Amino acid sequence: QVQLVESGGGVVQPGRSLRLSCAASGFTFNSYSMHWVRQAPGEGLEWVAVISYDGDNAFYADSVQGRFIISRDNSKNTFYLEMNSLRVEDTALYYCARGAVGATGGEPNDYWGRGTLVTVSS
């Protein structure tokens, strides 16, 4: 069965960096685009970033553009979110989610992990 498991969350000071990982299993990972979505405490869902199936294309929300980098290692069935210059407002539960086959759009996020919590605080 499809499984997505996030890791790497924790408490970090403003301005520092953190890398999240999402380990995938139960499907042909290298055929799917993959997404990060976050939910700040008491807030709604916010889409963060997507990476294409082959890693050649990535897109970001304006709120993280230039600070976050999404990447993947298809040999390890894992993708990542490198978060730099972290801000207090980046505090959230970060979910990884499966996207479309062969494209970065065109299909909803059908499978989700349970999330990893990132807290940015001095």
Residues that bind another protein (CB under 8 A): 35, 37, 44-47, 50, 57, 59-62, 95, 97, 99-100, 104-110, 112-115
Closest CB to another protein among residues 15, 31 = 31
Q: C-beta of 112: minimal distance to another protein in Å?
A: 4
Q: How many CB atoms lie within 10 A of CB 6?
A: 21
- For residue 88, give every residue at least 6 positions away whose Cβ sits within 8 Å of its Cβ, in sequence order, or none: 14, 120, 121
Q: Provide the residue type at 58 as one letter.
A: A
Q: C-beta of 106: minimal distance to another protein in Å?
A: 6
Closest CB to another protein among residues 63, 84 = 63
Label the pairing between strands 68-73 and 78-83: antiparallel
Closest CB to another protein among residues 108, 122 = 108
Q: How far apart are CA 21 and CA 55, in angstroms?
A: 15
